[in-house]
């Protein structure tokens, strides 16, 4: 069985995996990091978005063996020292979630968007940035508000994630 | 997904070696292949991952061409200043593929090699008269796309680069399927010193195709009005739950006129 060695949320991890294991399955079932969700399993919904080498990817559409040597950050890797990441805090403040299922992917996508586009995001940029993330509760309105607020709150606090 | 042996060569020669094995398949960004494997629509015994081969990445201007390594991700093409300056239509196309996470993984070489009838890049290759460069030879786009998911590639051939001649004017207009973001119809129009080329994706039963009647009309005058009366035959166009062949035929005209309008307005 192939062996993978990678960094997950700053910790070195080594494990044996079947070549066919998806990154999301590896994270959830082997590492027990169940914050990353499987929604559609067809690359559409974005509930499984994590960062690989600093870029948002759908972990249901990547093999664990493809992440060998990579730096992976999941939703569990955002909060530090018991304090929520500014983007998580913004979702809480702005009621950016209802059932919460899509939220980990929304937040990882949002942080990636801020890393690419900066801290002042207009509504259109945010909505286009969310093209690959589906929410079936909120109608997106408060998610967009949350991301605009979270982006501003991240000013000067941009992290490796 | 059925299991397979996974190989991650660091150079092209080893990749070609692994590809010799029985039922071996290349994996680039995997944004089409992994969903296909999950549905068990493909069951290769060996997957040869190209992501560690440095020779397959990078974007550069070489004389009158923009040369893009096969493993270059869509997000990299979209963000490239070199591409934006020379062929903004290509930047826009790359920026409109799938969604941001898909663009961070999907590659130009993978898209071109797969030749999905609704993929965006084949239209750019055909309209810009690109050259597909492999480990063995250079293939003009006109000879490369052979049909539905079919290309001129041989089993022991790997795309290394794609070279796009810089046009005078170009634009790509796509009507995306609202769910998949694939092109329901996408039209790439390009004008260079030799004339105008119009390529259509999303609509052809045999994949991407050119529209000679539009090209002739646009050669005379490069304006949306020139192609107002060009009729597109719905025969041979895709008809599915997303749209009839007649609907797609109509959309080709609309998207082509929009593309010509946008291209005519590009400063050059």
Mean pLDDT of all residues belonging to chain A: 95
Pairing of β B138-140 and β B131-134: antiparallel
**Domain architecture of chain B: domains with CATH:** 1-48 (3.30.43.10), 169-265 (3.30.390.50)
Distance CA A74, CA A51 (A): 7
- Tokens (6 digits) for B89: 């239509």
What is the tens place of the pLDDT at every residue in B64-113? 999 999 999 999 999 999 999 999 999 999 999 999 999 999 999 999 99
**Domain architecture of chain A: domains with CATH:** 3-76 (3.10.20.30), 86-153 (1.10.150.120)
What percent of chain B has a predicted confidence (pLDDT) above 90? Answer: 96
What is the tens place of the pLDDT at every residue in B112-168? 999 999 999 999 999 999 999 999 999 999 999 999 999 999 999 999 999 999 999
Min distance A131 CA to chain B CA atoms (Å)? 6
Backbone angles phi and psi of B173, in degrees to 5: -125, 130
Question: Which strand (E) or helix (H) includes residue A13?
Answer: strand A11-16
Does the structure show a pLDDT above 60 at A161? no
**Cα B167 off chain centre by:** 17
- Tokens (6 digits) for A58: 């759908």
Nearest to B114 by CA among B76, B161, B153: B153
CB contact under 8 A, B102 and A46: no
What is the widest separation between alpha-carbon atoms in chain A? 47
Distance CA A141, CA A145 (A): 6
CB contact under 8 A, A41 and B38: yes
Does the structure show a pLDDT above 70 at A159? no
Residue B222 near residue B215 (C-beta atoms within 8 A):
no
Give the sign of the dihedral formed by CA B176, CA B178, CA B181, CA B182.
negative
Q: Please report the ipTM that was assigned to this predicted complex.
A: 0.95
Min distance A106 CA to chain B CA atoms (Å)? 12
Min distance B218 CA to chain A CA atoms (Å)? 33
Give the sign of the dihedral formed by CA B246, CA B251, CA B256, CA B257.
positive
Q: Measured between beta carbons, which residues in chain B are less than 8 angstroms from residue A133? A: 99
Confidence of residue B256 (pLDDT cuts 50, 70, 90): very high
Mean pLDDT (whole number) for B239-266: 96
Distance CA A96, CA A38 (A): 20
Question: Which strand (E) or helix (H) includes residue A72?
Answer: strand A71-73
To 10 degrees, what angle do helices A141-153 and A86-93 make? Answer: 140
CB neighbour class for B2 (10 Å; exposed up to 12, middle 13-18, buried from 19) = exposed
Q: Where are the alpha helices (DSSP H) in A5-140?
A: 23-25, 86-93, 103-117, 123-129
Count of residues for chain A? Answer: 161
Give the single-character DSSP code of A30. Answer: I
Which residue's entry shows tokens 């992994």?
A: B34
CA dihedral A56, A59, A65, A69 (to 10 degrees): 30
Query: Is B179 an interface residue toward A (CB < 8 Å)?
Result: yes
Count of other CB atoms within 10 angstroms of residue B23: 10
What percent of chain A has a predicted confidence (pLDDT) above 70? Answer: 98
> What predicted TM-score, i.e. pTM, was given to this entire model?
0.95
């Amino acid at each position: 069985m192939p062996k993978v060695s990678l960094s997950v949320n700053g910790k070195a991890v080594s494990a044996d995996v079947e070549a066919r294991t998806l990154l999301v399955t590896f994270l959830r079932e082997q590492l027990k990091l169940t914050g990353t969700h499987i929604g559609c399993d067809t690359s559409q919904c974005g509930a499984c978005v994590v960062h690989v080498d600093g870029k948002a990817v759908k972990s249901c559409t990547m093999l664990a063996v493809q992440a060998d040597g990579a730096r992976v950050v999941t939703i569990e890797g955002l909060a530090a020292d018991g304090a929520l990441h500014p983007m998580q805090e913004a979702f809480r403040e702005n009621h950016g979630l209802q059932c919460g299922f899509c939220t980990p992917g929304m937040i990882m996508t949002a942080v990636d968007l801020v890393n690419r586009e900066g801290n002042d995001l207009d509504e259109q940029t945010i909505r286009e940035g969310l093209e690959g993330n589906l929410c079936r509760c909120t109608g997106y309105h408060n998610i967009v508000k949350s991301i605009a607020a979270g982006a501003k709150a991240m000013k000067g606090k941009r992290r490796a994630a | 997904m059925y299991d397979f042996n996974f190989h991650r060569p660091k150079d092209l020669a080893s990749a070609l070696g692994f590809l010799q094995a029985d039922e071996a398949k290349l994996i680039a960004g995997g944004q089409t292949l992994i969903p296909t494997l999950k549905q068990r629509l493909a069951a290769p015994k060996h997957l040869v991952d190209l992501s560690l081969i440095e020779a397959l990445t990078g974007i550069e201007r070489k004389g009158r061409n923009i040369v893009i390594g096969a493993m270059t991700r869509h997000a990299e093409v979209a963000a490239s200043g070199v591409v934006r300056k020379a062929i903004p239509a290509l930047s826009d196309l790359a920026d409109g593929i799938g969604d941001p996470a898909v663009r961070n993984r999907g590659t130009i070489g993978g898209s071109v090699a797969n030749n999905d009838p609704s993929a965006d890049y084949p239209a750019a290759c055909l309209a810009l008269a690109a050259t597909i460069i492999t480990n063995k030879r250079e293939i003009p786009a006109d000879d490369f796309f052979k049909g539905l998911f079919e290309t001129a590639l041989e089993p022991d051939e790997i795309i290394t680069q794609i070279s796009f001649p810089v046009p005078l004017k170009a634009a790509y207009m796509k009507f995306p399927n609202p769910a998949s973001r694939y092109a329901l119809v996408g039209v790439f129009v390009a004008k260079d010193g030799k004339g105008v080329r119009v390529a259509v994706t999303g609509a052809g039963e045999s994949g991407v195709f050119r529209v000679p009647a539009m090209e002739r009309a646009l050669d005379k005058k490069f304006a949306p009005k020139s192609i107002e009366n060009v009729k597109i035959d719905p025969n041979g166009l895709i008809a599915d739950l997303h749209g009839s062949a007649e609907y797609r035929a109509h959309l080709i005209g609309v998207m082509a006129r929009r593309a010509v309008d946008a291209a005519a307005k590009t400063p050059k």
